[in-house]
Amino acid sequence: MLEKNNAANMEANVLDMFRLDGKIALITGGSRGLCFSMVIGLAQAGAITIISSRKQSDCEKAAAEIYSQTGKESTGIAVDVSREESVKKLFKAVIKKYNRLDILVNGAGINIRHPIEEYPASDCKRVFDTNIYGMWLCCKEAVVIMKKQRAGSIINIGSALGEVGMPQRSAYCASKSAVMGITRVVALELAPAGARCNAICPGPFLTEINKALLQDPKKVKDLIGRTAFKRWADLKEIRGTVVFLASDASSYMTGSAVYVDGGWTAQ
């Protein structure tokens, strides 16, 4: 048996392990920015994608762009991840249409900046409701599906700011620190079914969340100066990581985090 397994391993083409042909991938927050770039990567690797964000028109526009760029089927379904009934409706629609879910990318997230002594409690709640509670709700629904089908990969989007602090981001940093707690527990609960849960922790990508900083060159210099490369990340530099974690190439990884942060947390 060992000899047969070794022979099979020798014959396998490593590049084939990254293919996602026919896989069904749901990406929350996928209509723009970093998560839209992830959708492109997943579609280029062969996945059928479902793009979710708050506005149906944004979802449909993004899905049409994915089809235009890659020729792969893509669907847009609106969701408010902070509302349980909305999340349940989303997952029910995915299963009704495709009868399975192979990949979930929990990318919906917001960042509201204030010094902590001036931070409105309502803003803090908004960040937590989206970044923590919303992720937890989506994991809850996906786990039911993936346990039943005994396969699947959940990818939670954290941040380098879950590992290090930064002024005026108390709610955001706290929410991204929570990502790994959720990721580890879900990984352990999925493992008996052969499904997985990991996290990606990006550094400074020039997304919609960060564009407000461009008005202050000093803040920009400070932000990218924290990285080893001293530059913004290009949006396409996230694609390889999400495809890796979604695919069989990472089949023995679960409960882990991959930092795509230009060396920020290495210092």
Residue numbers annotated as active site: 172
Sequence-ordered list of residues with C-beta below 8 angstroms from that of 39, at least 6 positions apart, any chain:
25, 27, 30, 49, 51, 62, 66, 74
Please state, in angstroms and rounded to a whole number, the distance separating the CA atoms of residues 175 and 128: 6
Going from the C-alpha of 195 to that of each of 20, 120, 125, 152, 164, the distances in angstroms are 15, 39, 31, 5, 29
Residue by residue, DSSP assigns 221-258 as: HHHHHTSSS-SPBPGGGGHHHHHHHHSGGGTT--S-EE
Q: For residues 68 and 71, give the distance between their C-alpha atoms in angstroms, rounded to a whole number.
A: 6
**119-126, long-range: CB < 8 A, 24+ apart:** 119/170, 119/171, 123/171, 124/170, 124/171, 126/82
CA distance 86 to 108: 14
CA end-to-end distance (rounded Å), the chain: 46
22: three-class secondary structure by DSSP: coil
E strands, the chain, in order: 24-28, 48-52, 74-76, 103-106, 153-157, 196-202, 257-260
**Whether 66 contacts 51, CB under 8 Å:** yes
